[in-house]
Amino acid sequence: MNELQLKLCDIQGRLFELSAKKKYNSAAFVRTFMTSNTAKELDSKYNRMQWAGEEYLLEEVVDAAGDALNADGEIFSEDMLYWIGYIYRYWHYYNGEDSAKIYKQAPVETMRRNYMIFHTMDPVLAIEDLKEIHNQKHTHKETIRRPSAFR
């Protein structure tokens, strides 16, 4: 992980933290951001969005989301939101997966549920554990769906 990548992890963490300060519903914000064009642009190798600060990025997401974001609903702690944003961006740089794919593996509910355990871990270990949680759920669902004759 180079210095620029770590800086972008920090910016995304601060973006998620800023969403709490602006009183956006946390689950809706995280879901909206991770599936947004803004996140997709941050995923690209070189993009102007990578030089934008969290205030500008928040404007981009809010403008594109329209009514999908609102002040109704729960607002997570700023610490939790920072960690979620940081880990999602770190995950992208760690293995090259795009934000939408990362979100499918570790939706906001999974991140929230595991925050207390994982937020003090090395980011790579947290990511590997989050991927393992996803894989276990996926394997369990596949086992349940298959008729017993095919198990």
DSSP notation for 99-149 = HHHHHHHS-HHHHHHHHHHHTTS-HHHHHHHHHHHHHHHHHHHHHHHS-GG
User: 65 lies in which domain range?
Assistant: 3-150
How many domains, in total, are found in the chain? Answer: 1
Separation between Cα atoms, residue 98 and residue 21, nearest integer Å: 26
Read off the pLDDT band of 144 (50, 70, 90). Answer: very low
Separation between Cα atoms, residue 16 and residue 78, nearest integer Å: 8
* Predicted local confidence at residue 151, as pLDDT: 47
* Predicted local confidence at residue 48, as pLDDT: 64
Separation between Cα atoms, residue 74 and residue 9, nearest integer Å: 24
Range 58-77 average pLDDT = 85
What 3-state DSSP class applies to 117? Answer: helix
Given a contact cutoff of 8 angstroms between Cβ atoms, the answer to whether 89 and 40 are in contact is: no
Instruction: Indicate whether 8 pLDDT > 80.
Output: yes
Q: What is the pLDDT of residues 12-39, one digit of tens each?
A: 999 999 999 999 999 999 999 999 999 9
Distance (Å) of CA 18 to CA 13, 137, 141:
9, 31, 36
Which of the two residues, 142 and 42, has the higher pLDDT score?
42
> What is the widest separation between alpha-carbon atoms in the chain?
55
Instruction: Indicate whether 115 pLDDT > 90.
Output: yes
- DSSP structural state of residue 97: -
* Predicted local confidence at residue 96, as pLDDT: 94
Task: Indicate the average pLDDT of the chain.
Answer: 88
Instruction: Indicate whether 141 pLDDT > 70.
Output: no
Both tokens assigned to 72: 């109704």
Given a contact cutoff of 8 angstroms between Cβ atoms, the answer to whether 70 and 26 are in contact is: no
